[in-house]
Amino acid sequence: MIIDLRHISHEPRRFDFTFQPTWWQSEAVDDQIIGPDGPLTVRMTIHKEGTNYVVDGQLTGRFNVRCDRCLDPYALDLKPDFRLVLDVTSPDYGQGEYELLQEDLSVRFIDDLHLDVDDMVREQIYLSLPIKYLCGEDCAGLCPVCGRNLNQGTCSCERETGHPAFSKLKDLRLNED
Ligand SMILES: [Zn+2]
Ligand SMILES: [Zn+2]
């Protein structure tokens, strides 16, 4: 979905979008990010401010990710508000200033007067995901020996072999020396 900014004036214009789960294309780089758990809705307005365009929006939906500890999928509620300033002037000012602006995630430079809504929404999803994925504060994770998901029950590894996790750590330290 592309919005032609030439049709946008100082008067905020409203856009409502619904993205079906099939819209998401997973990127192989991070297989912990699975995809939307049902439709995602985006409500936003765009208005012109000087030579820039300002997007104010809110994304709502559930998103499936994989827990860092037990690797089970679970759904996160996403409801980020976002504001983006679209700078359509070519950045021809001093290098330092340019880098400073580049670090500001709310400023985008766009070459032409077209806003790619799919790219923008994908980016907002990534920005709103947490750094760590935990299905629950008390997630027990996987047994380091047999790989069993300890949230679903205990295994007998510890009782049979003592404390394998600790002896493994000891071996690692010896090897490093
Ligand atoms: Zn977990
Ligand atoms: Zn085990």
Kindly report, residue by residue over 120-142, the tens digit of the pLDDT: 999 999 999 999 999 999 999 99
Question: What's the CA-to-centroid distance between 136 and ligand 2, angstroms?
Answer: 20
Question: What's the CA-to-centroid distance between 155 and ligand 2, angstroms?
Answer: 5
- pTM of the full structure: 0.76
Q: Cα separation of 45 and 11, whole Å?
A: 9
Q: What share of the chain in percent tops pLDDT 70?
A: 77
DSSP states along 21-77? GGG----TT-TTEEEESS-EEEEEEEEEETTEEEEEEEEEEEEEEE-TTT--EEEEE
Note the ligand closest to the C-alpha atom of 144.
2
20 pLDDT tier (thresholds 50, 70, 90): very high
| Annotated domain spans of the chain | 2-128, 141-177
Which residues are registered as beta bridge partners of 17? 42
Question: What's the CA-to-centroid distance between 23 and ligand 1, angstroms?
Answer: 26
Kindly report, residue by residue over 39-85, the tens digit of the pLDDT: 999 999 999 999 899 999 999 999 999 999 999 999 999 999 999 99
Decide: helix, strand or coil at residue 13.
strand
Question: What's the CA-to-centroid distance between 149 and ligand 1, angstroms?
Answer: 8
Question: What's the CA-to-centroid distance between 16 and ligand 1, angstroms?
Answer: 34
